[in-house]
Amino acid sequence: MMGKLLSAEFMKIKRKGIWFLTVLGPIGVVAMQMVNYGVRKEYLFRQNDDRWGYYLDNIHSFTPLAIVLGIVILTSFMSSIENETNAWKQLMALPVSKMGVYLSKFTVLSVLLLISSVLLLLFTLAFGISLDLGGEIPYDGLLKYSFYPFFAALPVLALQLWAAAVSVNQGVPITLGILGVILTYAGYALPDWLIWKWPLLMNDWEEPLINVLLGGGAGLILYAAGMIDFVRRDVK
């Protein structure tokens, strides 16, 4: 049954531009550096002897904002599809559980963001090679900056899906999303406990893995809370 729910979810987004947005995110992040290095390549090369490390830091400066903004847009799009087609009531009329419906939506969103992370890694690697940065390619750094923000942002995803799934007025999750984007943008000055700061991979311990572990744990808690709330409510 779960397989059928996932197939149905992917069919819904087939012609809605969501796949385009999934690809656009990582392209946009790398395109920023294409412009940056295209305009002042020699200057940037002089900033740090570790050219690969400096390049990855520049890529990562845009990644947290892109992934939080992507979460807001994707959850909003998926909710709008349900509201436009009255799909919530149609789904509930089928012999499926609310838990299964909620899990399928969270899974599809996670898969889309994971695909974006994979594409970010590939585009980052390809452009880095084209720049002829020299030295060995830091594959560990590529993996960290491509996938750590995704896992650290899981609480944001769980919270946005929760708000989108239970809100009759979609202005609520959109407002929450805008606030989240602003908080992520200002994350460098925020306390470590705010979930919107975690994709930046910054903390007082200077250990990015802590943000990943916190993201996984808090994401699971918020997902469970959202699912329980969704199951208990009447269908919109």
pTM: 0.92
**Cβ atoms of 198 and 152 closer than 8 Å:** yes
Closest CA to 71 of 232, 219, 212: 219
Question: How far out from the chain centre does Cα 220 lie?
Answer: 15
Please state, in angstroms and rounded to a whole number, the distance separating the CA atoms of residues 78 and 145. Answer: 27
User: Given the structure tokens 């491509």, which residue do they identify?
Assistant: 146
Helix (H, G, I), strand (E, B) or coil at 93: helix
User: Given the structure tokens 């699971």, which residue do they identify?
Assistant: 220
pLDDT in tens, 34-61: 999 999 999 999 999 899 999 999 999 9
pLDDT in tens, 180-212: 999 999 999 999 999 999 999 999 999 999 999
Look at residue 81 in the predicted model and tell me its pLDDT.
Answer: 72
Please state, in angstroms and rounded to a whole number, the distance separating the CA atoms of residues 19 and 23. Answer: 6
pLDDT in tens, 205-230: 999 999 999 999 999 999 999 999 98
